[in-house]
């Protein structure tokens, strides 16, 4: 069997954890499998590198930032290779460049275009364990790019797809995908299985356990994923096309995203085209917008608010502010003290009761809802950031703990 195994940052955080993971890899290899391993940077390395960069230059070029960030994963593969060598096992570590993981040119959030499998196959043919640096690729200028936070998940899925692997295992620091973040909600339940679509929603709505792009890729190429713990031996969660309990489960899980911000444009001229001009300015800046609301205040001017990723908020504000004369409004401001709490499930639409249960849970906790957005598979509410964990716990109790 050809197995792709990915280990996240906490799984390789220190020497002891590296030895633990080496044991898992060795076991799979000695069982007679071809093993390709994708590693993340150790512990908080990526955050530390970002801080280091900020100390030198608060606004570095994205190219140089990627050059720096890519080093984190390279440390992990070299250390893991040394550990496996020490155990007498044949191993080789490869960067994204050495493998030939080609991406588009977008530094910091590159998409994988193509994966060369030649070098990987050659190493596997030599009966070596192959360790690949996650999160990185190379663009058409032969520069390093990174795939966005959590991107090692995407590397693993891309390799599994390119190699037609028999299994793709995502090892992490929890035992699988849960109905809510098990670190925040003690009553959260581990899911035996989850569909790609539901996992994609959960991941997109803030459940960090898998990067949303990795799930998209897995769905597209039919790569079945298994999310499991590197520390506890227990069956994990299967992410796949069809699950057994699709019909009965209305709600799959609850996610929180506190890396969002609201941009509010006040007293927008009440005339055709105002909303268009505002959102056009934002979209021209390359920023995705979510949950737009227009609140009619008394008189003739409206307030228009929308949600963006926190990292994009200042750019969005500026894009709108720069067009103040053309758009016609009084002021534009950013609020980062908000969070988006979402309930995800394939059976959402067929049951009106779900929305009312969510609102009831928030009402019980006296949490004010600032914005609402519903689709066939999810219901999201924007609330103040300080209440977010309490909101998730309260909603979880309503759906899963009573
Ligand atoms: P890794 O370093 O292995 O990539 P991450 O920190 O990216 O790990 O993702 C694992 C974390 O995701 C868990 O520690 C958990 O706190 C968080 N998480 C959030 N939502 C969920 C969920 N629904 N199920 C499982 N874990 C979740
Ligand atoms: N090291 C990168 C990050 O922290 C990629 C990953 O862990 O998947 O986001
Ligand atoms: Mg991760």
At residue 297, the pLDDT reads 62
**HEC secondary structure over 132-193:** EECCEEECCCCCEEECCCCCHHHHHHHHHHHCCCCEEEEEECCCCCECCCCCCCCCCCECCE
Write the burial class of residue 30 (CB in 10 Å: 0-12 exposed, 13-18 middle, 19+ buried).
exposed
Residue 396 forms part of a structural domain: no
Domain count along the chain: 1
The pairs formed by 288-296 with CB atoms below 8 angstroms and a separation of 24 or more are: 288/312, 289/316, 290/260, 290/373, 291/340, 291/371, 291/373, 291/380, 291/382, 293/371, 294/268
Cα 239 to middle of ligand 2, angstroms: 20
**pLDDT of 90 strictly over 70:** yes
Residue 85 forms part of a structural domain: yes
pLDDT tens track for 226-279: 999 999 999 999 999 988 765 566 799 999 999 999 999 999 988 889 999 999
The sign one gets for the Cα dihedral 392, 395, 396, 402 is positive
At residue 271, the pLDDT reads 87
pTM for the whole structure: 0.94
pLDDT tens track for 154-177: 999 999 999 999 999 999 999 999
Paired tokens of 189: 């339940």
- Nearest CA-CA partner of 297 in 324, 268, 321, 277: 268
At residue 249, the pLDDT reads 60
**pLDDT of 299 strictly over 70:** no
Residue 94 forms part of a structural domain: yes
- Mean predicted confidence (pLDDT) in 188-204: 96
Cα 227 to middle of ligand 1, angstroms: 10
Q: Chain-wide mean pLDDT for the chain?
A: 95
- Mean predicted confidence (pLDDT) in 13-24: 98
- At 224 the three-state DSSP class reads coil
Cα(93)–Cα(74) distance, integer angstroms? 9
Paired tokens of 278: 């505002």
Residue 111 forms part of a structural domain: yes
170 close to ligand 1 (CB < 6 Angstrom): no
At residue 200, the pLDDT reads 97
The parent domain of residue 42 ranges over 2-173
**pLDDT of 352 strictly over 80:** no
Residue 290 forms part of a structural domain: no
At residue 248, the pLDDT reads 64
- At 282 the three-state DSSP class reads helix
Report the residue count for the chain: 402
Nearest CA to ligand 2 atom 5: 150
pLDDT bin (cut points 50, 70, 90) of residue 376 is confident
Residue 21 forms part of a structural domain: yes
Residue 121, domain CATH? 3.40.1160.10
């Amino acid at each position: 069997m050809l197995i792709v195994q990915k280990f996240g940052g906490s799984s390789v955080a220190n020497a002891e954890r590296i030895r633990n993971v080496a044991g898992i890899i060795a076991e799979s290899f000695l069982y007679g499998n071809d093993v390709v391993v994708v590693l993340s940077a150790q512990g908080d390395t990526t955050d530390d590198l970002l801080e280091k960069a900020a100390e030198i230059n608060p606004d570095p070029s994205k190219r140089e930032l990627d050059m720096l960030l890519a080093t984190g994963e390279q440390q992990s593969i070299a250390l893991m290779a040394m550990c496996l060598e020490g155990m007498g096992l044949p191993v080789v570590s490869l960067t994204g460049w050495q493998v030939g993981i080609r991406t588009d040119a977008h530094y910091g959030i590159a998409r994988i275009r193509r994966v060369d499998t030649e070098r990987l196959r050659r190493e596997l043919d030599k009966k070596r364990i192959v360790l690949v640096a996650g999160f990185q690729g190379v663009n058409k200028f032969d520069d390093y790019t990174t795939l966005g936070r959590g991107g090692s998940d995407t590397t693993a899925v891309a390799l599994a797809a390119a190699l037609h692997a028999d299994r793709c295992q995502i090892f992490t620091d929890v035992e699988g995908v849960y109905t809510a973040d098990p670190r925040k909600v003690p009553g959260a339940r581990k899911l035996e299985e989850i569909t790609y679509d539901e996992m994609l929603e959960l991941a997109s709505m803030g459940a960090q356990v898998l990067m949303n792009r990795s799930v998209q890729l897995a769905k597209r190429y039919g790569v079945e994923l298994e999310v499991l713990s590197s520390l506890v031996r227990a069956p994990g969660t299967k992410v796949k096309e069809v699950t057994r309990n699709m019909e009965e489960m209305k709600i799959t899980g609850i996610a929180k995203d506190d890396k969002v911000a609201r941009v509010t444009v006040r007293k927008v001229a009440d005339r055709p085209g105002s909303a268009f001009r505002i959102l056009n300015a934002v979209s021209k800046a390359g920023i995705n917008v979510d949950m737009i609301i227009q609140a009619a205040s008394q008189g003739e001017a409206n307030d228009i608010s929308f949600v963006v990723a926190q990292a994009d908020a200042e750019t969005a504000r500026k894009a709108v502010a720069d067009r103040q004369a053309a758009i016609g409004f009084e002021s534009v401001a950013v609020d980062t003290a908000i969070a988006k709490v979402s309930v995800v499930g394939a059976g959402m639409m067929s049951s009106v009761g779900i929305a009312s249960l969510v609102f009831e849970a928030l009402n019980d906790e006296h949490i004010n809802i600032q914005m609402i957005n519903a689709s066939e598979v999810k219901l999201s509410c924007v609330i103040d950031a300080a209440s977010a964990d309490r909101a998730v716990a309260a909603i979880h109790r309503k759906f899963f703990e009573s």
